[in-house]
Structure 1
Amino acid sequence: MKILIVENEIYLAQSIASKLMEIGHLCEIATSIKDALKDEKYDAILLSTNISGQNFYPVIEKHRSSIIILMISYISNDTVTNPIKAGACDYIQKPFMIEELIRKLQHLSDFKNLKKENETYKEYVKNLFSSANLEPLDKKIKFPILIKTNFQKHADALVFNYAQTQNETFTFISLTQSNVYEKIARSGNEELLYIIDLQNLKKSEKLKIYNVLEGKRAIICSTDPNEESDFSKIEINTDSKILDQGDILCIDDYVKYVIFNFQNKFPDTELSKKLGISRKSLWEKRKKYGINKKK
């Protein structure tokens, strides 16, 4: 990490820098607030709050995208509470053990990376399910819930949307994994579970799953249209059919899928060219499949 140490006690600053550089960090020292405001990027700022007569808040504002750890002599609103409200991440009280500072730096670095990773996944999932125009899951529906669908992606979208609107996380379980019964049994009754691949189980195995799910806040998904259980049921059937199951579609189903899903993205001339047919054939296939061209 590239670290800026803002401290006017030069001996202390050099001691911190020396120990951090020993474990691979790159350190610079600023003995005044003015020096700390130079136009450089740092992964972390170690900011002393008792640089006499100098307002340290511009440093927090300037480097708010960095990890900022306050180095304080005593705890008060002025040294801790207000600076953290302004954007600092944490504090450490002098004198401190260098190991404690290293632990805080590592913890905050991990947290920052996980937060960024989480935001990336959220954006990816939002984009992935943007085409799924589904009615949201009724908040009053009784758990466990069985979703029967011919398109796994839409069931996924329904569950992700429900978790987001409820502001909670869920545990994802595929019934193709090992020790699934133990995983479900160990989960708390208030924990939200999303379970897929029910269609891959034998009847006796399904009954075992149903028994272990009793009393759980579970949503279980199957792509078998004949799936039956005593759970609350939701059916989602789409023209997307089985493209996400790794099966091969017949030519007619493939052409129907492409026309339905891409006619709004390409003009007829380009769409027919991509399908290797004439515009007249494209019109005839729309008529055959009962697909109205979207305006």
Structure 2
Amino acid sequence: MNVLIVENEIYLAQSIATKLESLGYPCQIVSTIHEAMQKPKSDVVLLSANAGGSLCEMFIRQNPQAIVIMMIAYVSEDTVTKPIKAGAKDYIMKPFMLDELLRKIEHQLECQRLKKQIVFYEEYFSFLESEVQVLSSARYYPPFVIRCNAQKIADVYAIKIAKEKKMTLKFATLKLYDWRDVLERASRDTVMYVTHLESLRKADFRDFLHEMSDKNIIASVVASDQIDFPQVVDVVCQSGSLDFEGNILSVREYEKCIIQKFENHYSDVELAKKMGISRKNLWEKRKRYGLEKRKETDLH
């Protein structure tokens, strides 16, 4: 970051430069706005209203990339209102403490950094939204369930709805937390977005849906089965791909991933049928991949 100090009070300009340079901010000093116009673009401009005169607004408009802070002796339309409208970020009254000036500079730098970060995330989110295809025309308020073919697509849709309806989201995954604990943490003030319902056993899946029916919850499940819940939104990835974190899997890895991902959601008979294999073949694959066989009673 480089700083241009436009100040006709040389002692003040040198004091500011000494303080900023001790903190690692390179400074240049000029005494008139005409000199400032000849200098390369700066990240921060400390502009004295006395040194700038009537050219302050033009100079500010010519340097939209810079954080301009006005240094003024009094507040007026010419020293504050017009420069702020032209694009100046702040002002400070003379005489001032150098620490207060530094605080204003660092505050504006942080604001600039955050704005750039927000623009980045907004653009990235818009890019992700292009992958989302919503099959249901309804727009629901919580509680509702997102049924999807890829987890990241459900996540994008949930965030999109939260932005549209100006809702704040809290996040919870049933891969890491017990579903009962998640329900207890739900509040009426904040919407809780709960992912990976497919990891639940059938009985727990039904109980979770029943319990969430009066709570401020959006839940997502990677599945295509019928879901017994009043509000279900179907969302798919435009490419139709499954969510394996962007990796290309071998056939064996794919089989192992499918078994692990859906074994709590389906009985062995149902899972084997969906995979197009026999129940015996499923048992053999479990043994081959070192996956512990669950008790059938756990599913009911």
TM-score normalised by L of structure 2: 0.69
1:143 CA displacement: 1.4
Q: Map 1:19-58 onto structure 2 (within 5 A).
A: 19-51=19-51, 53-58=53-58
Cα offset for 1:37? 1.1
Match of 1:121 in 2: 121
> Any conservation in 2 of the 1:196–1:222 contact (CA below 8 Å)?
yes
What is the CA deviation profile of residues 9-43 of structure 1, one whole-angstrom value per residue up to 9, with x for unaligned ones?
Answer: 11111111111111111011121011111251211
For 1:34 and 1:19, the matched residues in 2 are separated by 25
For 2:91, the equivalent position in structure 1 comes to 91
Distance 1:179 1:198, change over 3 A: closer
| Higher relative contact order (CA closer than 8 Å, sequence separation 6+) | 2
Q: Which runs of 5+ in 2 are unaligned?
A: 255-300
Amino acid at match of 1:32: T
Cα distance 1:176–1:115, how it changes in 2: closer, same or farther (>3 A)?
farther
Q: Does 1:200 align with 2:168?
A: no
Is the alpha carbon distance of 1:190 and 1:52 closer, same or farther for their aligned partners in structure 2, counting shifts above 3 Å?
A: same
Which deviates more from structure 2 when the two are superposed, residues 1-10 or residues 202-211? Answer: 202-211
Q: Within the alignment, does 1:150 sit opposite 2:149 as a pair?
A: yes
Q: 1:178 to 1:154 in 2, by over 3 A?
A: closer
* Map 1:204-283 → 2, pairs under 5 A: 204=204, 207=207, 211=211, 214-216=214-216, 218-226=217-225, 228=227, 230=229, 232-237=231-236, 240-244=240-244, 248=249
CA–CA distance in 2 between the matches of 1:86 and 1:72?
16
- What is the rounded CA distance, in whole Å, between the counterparts of 1:104 and 1:86 in structure 2? 19
Deviations 1:33-85 (A, max 9, x none): 11111251211111112337442112211221111111122223332232112
Distance 2:166 2:137 in 1: 14
The code of the aligned residue for 1:157 comes to V
| Matches of 2:112 and 2:213, distance apart in 1 | 36
Q: Which digits, 9 at most, give the CA deviation of each residue in 1:98-120, with x for residues without a partner?
A: 11211221121111112112211
Q: Which amino acid counterpart does residue 14 of structure 1 have in structure 2?
A: Q
Partner of 1:174: 173
**CA–CA separation in structure 2 for the residues paired with 1:2 and 1:237:** 48
1:178 positional shift: 6.0
Q: Which amino acid aligns with 1:49?
A: A
Shift in Å, 1:96: 1.6
CA gap 1:57/1:213 in 2 versus in 1, 3 angstroms: farther
User: Between the two proteins, what is the percent identity of the paired residues?
Assistant: 33
Partner of 1:189: 188
- Residue type of the alignment partner of 2:132: A
Q: Which residue matches 2:82? A: 82
Residue type of the partner of 1:152?
Q
CA RMSD of aligned residues (A): 3.5
Residues 31 and 186 of structure 1, relative CA distance in 2, 3 Å threshold: farther
Residue 159 of structure 1 deviates from its aligned partner by 2.7
Distance 2:137 2:164 in 1: 10
The change in CA–CA distance for 1:128 and 1:23 in structure 2 (over 3 A counts) is: same
Task: From the superposition, tell whether residues 197 and 56 of structure 1 become closer, same or farther in structure 2 (CA, over 3 Å).
Answer: same
Deviation at 1:189, TM superposition (A): 3.0
User: Is the contact made by 1:137 and 1:162 (CA closer than 8 Å) also made in structure 2?
Assistant: no
User: More displaced, 95-104 or 155-164?
Assistant: 155-164
> What is the CA deviation profile of residues 224-252 of structure 1, one whole-angstrom value per residue up to 9, with x for unaligned ones?
4447464521123567242446684769x
Query: Which structure 1 residue ranges, 5 or more long, are not aligned?
Result: 254-295
The alpha-carbon distance between structure 1 residues 179 and 24, as it changes in their structure 2 partners (threshold 3 A), is farther
One-letter identity of the residue aligned with 2:188? N
Match of 2:55, SS state, is: coil
2:76 is matched by which residue type in structure 1?
A: S
2:271 corresponds to: none
Matched-pair contact (CA < 8 Å) for 1:184–1:212: yes
TM-score (structure 1 length as normaliser): 0.70
Paired residues, what number? 250
